[in-house]
């Protein structure tokens, strides 16, 4: 596979993972705004399931050398920070 093709695949993989992370953030934001409180078991179940799924996607992409491990960890850390911010904002309401 050419370097150009590999770079294209790497960029697409990272863009897809970033999109999935944003979908999780939006899902949790909607859930917190409209459905449940952060202390609700349903909220925790959805959050845990979604975060686990994303971490497995990232691990898979790393193992295929589609993204670097540092970029994957950074993506998860950014999402965790955004979700913590949402949680804090919800608690302050």
Q: What is the pLDDT of residues 44-66, one digit of tens each?
A: 787 889 999 999 999 999 999 99
Determine the topology of domain 3-92 in CATH: Helix Hairpins (1.10.287)
pTM over 0.85, yes/no: no
The domains of the chain are located at: 3-92
pLDDT in the model for residue 83: 87
pLDDT in the model for residue 36: 57
Question: Which ranges constitute the DSSP H helices of 31-40?
Answer: none
CA 87 – CA 83 distance, rounded (Å):
6
**pLDDT reading at 38 higher than 70:** no
pLDDT in the model for residue 1: 63
pLDDT in the model for residue 75: 96
Tokens found for residue 47: 């959050």
């Amino acid at each position: 596979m050419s370097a150009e093709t590999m770079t294209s695949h790497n960029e697409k993989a990272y863009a897809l993972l970033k999109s999935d992370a944003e979908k999780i953030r939006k899902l949790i934001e909607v859930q917190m705004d409209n459905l449940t409180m952060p202390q609700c078991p349903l909220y925790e179940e959805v959050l845990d399931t979604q975060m686990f799924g994303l971490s497995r996607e990232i691990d898979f992409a790393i193992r295929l050398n589609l993204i670097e491990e540092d970029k994957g960890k950074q993506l998860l850390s950014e999402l965790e920070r955004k979700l913590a911010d949402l949680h804090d904002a919800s608690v302050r309401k």
